[in-house]
Structure 1
Amino acid sequence: MTAGTTQDGAGPDAARERLREQRGWYFYDFACSVYSTTVVTVFLGPYLTAIARAAADADGFVHPLGVPVRAGSLFPYAISVSIVVAVLVMPLVGAAADRTGRKKPLLAAAAYLGAGATAGMFFLDGHRYLLGAALLIVANASLAVSMVLYNAYLPQIAEPAERDAVSSKGWAFGYTSGALVLVANLVLYSGHESFGLSEGEAVRICLASAGLWWGAWTLVPLRRLRDRRVPPGSEGATLSGWRQLIATLKDMRRHPLTLSFLLAYLVYNDGVQTVISQASVYGSEELGLDQTTLITAVLLVQVLAVAGALGMGRLARVYGAKRTILGSLVVWTLILAAGYFLPAGAPVWFFCLAAGIGLVLGGSQALSRSLFSHLVPRGKEAEYFSAYEMSDRGLSWLGPLVFGLAYQVTGSYRDAIISLVIFFVLGFALLARVPVRRAVLAAGNPLPDRV
């Protein structure tokens, strides 16, 4: 592929079409990121935990399907279950998209299933902890499946030299929308009495608003992105169940360096996703911070994550994506160590921690996505990005499980949060061993100047 060409053609018309798709692509991050911030990071963890505690027995346990679960562990366990569900579905969806070339209908189905489940969280009240867990499982799994299809567009709409910047802009759009909606959430929650609402009603409206936002803004990428023709001979029915997953993994064995990167990403991103999903629970339950403080802290994360994603994208142009990601993992480790010693009832120090998270969060995720796009063989984008998404959200069940088990055994959220350090230390060691330049060439892709 020469300069100025794309996978779909060359010349100014192709360049304009590529730019149009890129701008539409950014808006799916704009649409769905509100779910991650408003629902997973801020409101649902503390709210679902409170509902579970209201339904708990004298020993503090609820009994979903007859299994004794400490009320404080219900939320991380539900996250883990949602990810197991996503693991079973993502390889099928990725392969179907590659074989039919019809990513958009599948993206629409996953997005609106997730948005509908999120909007349904408006009905969580009383002792309905099982309904809350079920809606969380559906919404979280749907988000993971939709991201397989969304990420698979990246190598099709951006040339190799553009991908770090395009991926970083997508994350920046997502964090921008998260910040905008959190400002509205903060106004509604803080002034719920002046709006004639109870605290619970305000939380339920905030949860449902994320689903409505997700569904409304998804219309933009669905209008601008386009499906591609599949190569001759690639059509056919998708293999069923585990046959397709096994076929995908067998094909990936032909690219062991790509698998090495996925293993490293699986480990360190498991830590990232767990910190994101459990931060509000840690702040409210261990540090005794009120909901307004937590919303403000997450808003700070969102604002700084925009600058962090763009800033780390620029660092990657100088030092390469791999070195920049490694640097971010060092910062993540220091953040967790600081969080363990954070004093209770000290919002200023919690804000400092949130600022550190914001500066590395967007960049580490954006650069990981763009780096992986260089390691995907052409024509296997959705199938390989289903494996990537299994590492991103799909196999990030171990971190929440470790967090939940640590709390269940010790009763201390501090012990739970420090247990996550191992994910960043091990992920750093694994990524440092991956020869990414050789991996790009082995996948049959052009080598960018910096990687």
Structure 2
Amino acid sequence: MEKQTLTRMEKQWILYDVGNSAFIMLVTTIIPIYYKNIALAEGVSLAHSTAYFGYATSISTLIVALLGPILGAISDTKGYKKPLFTLFLVIGVLGCAALALPVPWLAFLGIFVVAKVGYNSSLIFYDSMLTDITTKERMDEVSSQGYAWGYIGSCIPFTISLLFVLFAEPIGISATTATMIAFLLNAVWWFGITIPLLKNYRQKYFVEVQSHPFKESFVRIIKMLKNIRKEKGIFLFLLAFLFYIDGVYTIIEMATSYGKDVGIGDNSLLLALLLTQIVAFPCSILFGKLSKKYRTTSLIKISIIGYTGIAVFALQLDKAWEFWFLAVCVAVFQGAIQALSRSYFAKIIPEEQAGEYFGLYDIFGKGAAFIGTMLMGVSTQISGSSKTGVFLLVFMFAAGFLLFRKADQVNSRSLSERKSI
């Protein structure tokens, strides 16, 4: 098979993964540590601070879950996708920068919610751009490249930020000032590296609207929701995705808080999660290459099984080396399960309604992640231990695997029937 290089538009699309991953790196590392230090200084216990962080994450994703289908349907209208993408990009970037403000822990969580809403909403439009910037045959490869370069690219601003945090005292600044610099630096990186996509993206697939884009978008949403259960393969995939990706995002967003709760030091947490990004880069590219040889659904199943093992291992975690080992295990499957799920969904939906369907995808994915984080928060607050929440994730992965296997059977049968016609 002749090796194909990435096109200019594919590269510019991938750059947004590089830009926004810097913010997600903050969410999984510096933000929870900084927040917990503020909360502890104001008399909030470790268990309660973890619970409140889980609630804030749940609120942000619930907001996006409610807005997702509406925003996605509107973005399918000709000329609307790029402006909406730009709006929520700016909200996310400004929210990231505003985290540098010296505010109490509750206000900090409020700003965090705004930044997360901007970030998650921008992904509705970004993910749906996949149908515009490449072909179905290349979607697995391009989507995997996006996550891969996102992991390694985010290490650049994060490493600089980490140097400020770790060497704050020698260079004559406080730890708080160093963290504020990190927030501002990552906000600038996020926006700056997205400029090529903002300049050159053109919406290829769209819905023609007669006169009232907003009204007609709502009509299309209602029609899609009525029909979605009839599209059994898509519906089963979304249910499976709800369970397994919810567990993935809960691990990503709560890992640092969980590690701190079981006694892992701040420096070990930060360095282990930096290692995750580095290891995830080649692993994501590897899975993208494997998708040319093996079925995408088989690779997704392997990733779900891998995450189930990760959740089981985390139940007994209490040493720094175990957290490091867990970080490497997460790195192997993290990019693959996200990238291949995104490209698989893009291949089974109507191209001209990509925004509409990815709005629904966001409900079952990032928008629905409030289930896992809320369970983590409530179970931790009730039991006084984060391990109770981790135990529940095992069942979420098991349910996701069984539903995905059924969805695979249905979609494979439907594809065979279409080819025979």
TM-score, normalized by the shorter chain, greater than 0.5: yes
Provide the rounded CA distance (Å) in 2 between the counterparts of 1:238 and 1:219.
27
After TM superposition, list the pairs within 5 Å mapping 1:30-41 onto structure 2: 30-38=18-26, 40-41=27-28
Percent identical pairs in the alignment equals: 28
Matching residue of 1:74: 52
Shift of the 439–136 alpha-carbon distance from structure 1 to 2, 3 Å rule, reads: farther
Counterpart residue number, 1:44: 31
Q: Deviations over 1:378-434 (max 9, x none)?
A: 311110011112222111100000000111011112222222111111101110111
For 2:284, which of 296, 301, 309 is the aligned residue? 309
Which amino acid in structure 1 is aligned with residue 9 of structure 2?
E
Query: 2:414 aligned with 1:426, yes or no?
Result: no
Aligned pairs, number: 415
Aligned-partner residue type, residue 414 of structure 1? K
**For residues 342-381 of structure 1, what are the structure 2 equivalents within 5 Å?**
342-343=317-318, 346-381=319-354
Query: Which stretch of structure 1 is more off in the superposition, 221-230 or 109-118?
Result: 221-230
- 1:152 is matched with 128
Change beyond 3 A, Cα 1:441–1:380: farther
- Aligned to 1:259, which of 227, 235, 251? 235
List aligned pairs for 1:174-323, cutoff 5 A.
174-228=150-204, 230-233=206-209, 236-239=212-215, 245-286=221-262, 288-323=263-298
Matched AA of 2:66: L
Judged with a 3 Å threshold, the aligned counterparts in structure 2 of structure 1 residues 80 and 240 are, in CA distance, closer, same or farther, namely farther
TM-superposed deviation, 1:46: 2.5
Tell me how far 1:161 sits from its aligned partner.
Answer: 1.1
Q: Is the counterpart of residue 327 in structure 1 residue 302 in structure 2?
A: yes
Structure with higher RCO (Cα < 8 A, 6+ apart): 2
Shift of 1:254: 4.1
Q: Is the 8 A contact 1:87 1:390 kept in 2?
A: yes
Contact 1:336 1:421 in 2 (8 A): yes
CA positional deviation for 1:293: 1.1
Asked if structure 1 preserves the Cα contact closer than 8 Å seen for 2:376 and 2:390, the reply is yes
Paired residues of 1:119 and 1:208 also in contact (CA < 8 A)? yes
The 1:404/1:370 distance shift into structure 2, 3 A limit, reads same
Q: Distance in 1 between matches of 2:183 and 2:253?
A: 15
Q: Residues 234 and 25 (structure 1 numbering): CA distance in 2 closer, same or farther, change over 3 Å?
A: farther
Q: 1:180 to 1:415 in 2, by over 3 A?
A: same
Question: Shift of the alpha carbon at 1:290?
Answer: 2.0
Distance in 2 (alpha carbons) for counterparts of 1:19 and 1:33: 21
CA distance in 2 between partners of 1:89 and 1:50 (Å)? 32
> Partners in 2 of 1:188 and 1:160 — Cα distance?
43
2:368 maps to: 395
Structure 1 residue 170: Cα displacement: 0.8
Over aligned residues, Cα RMSD in angstroms?
2.4
What is the letter of the counterpart of residue 115 of structure 2?
A
Structure 1 residues 339-376: Cα deviation after superposition (integer angstroms, max 9, x where no partner): 11123xx3222211111100110011111011101111
Q: List gaps (5 residues or longer) in structure 2.
A: none
Change (3 A) 1:235 1:168: farther
Provide TM-score, normalisation by structure 1: 0.86
Q: Kindly provide the amino acid, as one letter, of the partner of residue 194 in structure 1.
A: P
TM-score, scaled relative to structure 2: 0.92
Q: CA deviation at 1:215?
A: 1.5
**TM superposition outliers: structure 1 runs of 4+ over 6 Å:** 240-244
Letter paired with 2:35: L
In 1, Cα distance between the equivalents of 2:325 and 2:366? 27
Compute the displacement of 1:243 (Å).
6.7
CA contact (8 A) 1:25 1:221 kept: yes
> Is contact 2:77-2:206 (8 Å) kept?
yes
- Cα displacement (A) at 1:239: 3.3
Q: CA–CA distance in 2 between the matches of 1:173 and 1:294? A: 22
Greater percentage in helix = 2
Q: Aligned pair in 2 of structure 1 residues 197, 285: CA closer, same or farther (>3 Å)?
A: farther
Q: Which runs of 5 or more structure 1 residues have no equivalent in the other structure? A: 1-14, 62-68
